[in-house]
Amino acid sequence: MTAYDDGNIFAKILRGEIPSHRVYEDDDTVAFMDVMPQSPGHLLVLPKAPSRNLLDADPAVLAKLLPVVQKLARAAKTAFEADGVFIAQFNEAPAGQTVFHLHVHVIPRYDGIALAPHSGTMEKPDVLAEQAAKLKAALAAG
């Protein structure tokens, strides 16, 4: 199995070396907006613990991650008045993975509206900031 490389962009975000639009953080987990959203409100949920993806992750880390994914999926559905929420996670490049620190995509979905392409168009920072604020408000409201 390929070793984890802490030079990946999400490791840099976790270390605070590059910015992100954070929506959630606890002792084990961070969530921030995807800069190339496939739908408004597309966010990513990451464990702080290093692993490339699901395949090399510690099951104890996964056990803490999924409840946070659920919390954020519920908040995203409310904040963006979505009809559903798509949860996605890719393992290695042939499966579509482009950043090699485990992360789960949380993507609001709407009846009859197709998803934008994966890693497609960069969203404007002020739009991402506004969406992050909406999500934080939905989280705070429970």
> Which residues are near ligand AMP by CB under 6 A?
9, 20, 34-36, 44, 90, 96-99, 118-119
Q: How far is the CB of 36 from ligand AMP (least distance, A)?
A: 3
Q: Which is closer to ligand AMP, CB of 125 or CB of 142? A: 125
Q: How far is the CB of 142 from ligand AMP (least distance, A)?
A: 26
Per residue, the 3-state secondary structure of the chain, as one string, reads: CCCCCCCCHHHHHHCCCCCCCEEEECCCEEEEECCCCCCCCCEEEEECCCCCCHHHCCHHHHHHHHHHHHHHHHHHHHHCCCCEEEEECCCCHHHCCCCCCCCEEEEEECCCCCCCCCCCCCCCHHHHHHHHHHHHHHHHHC
42 is annotated as an active-site residue: no
Catalytic residue from among 101, 103, 105, 118: 103
Closest residue (Cβ) to ligand AMP? 36
**Residues taking part in catalysis:** 103
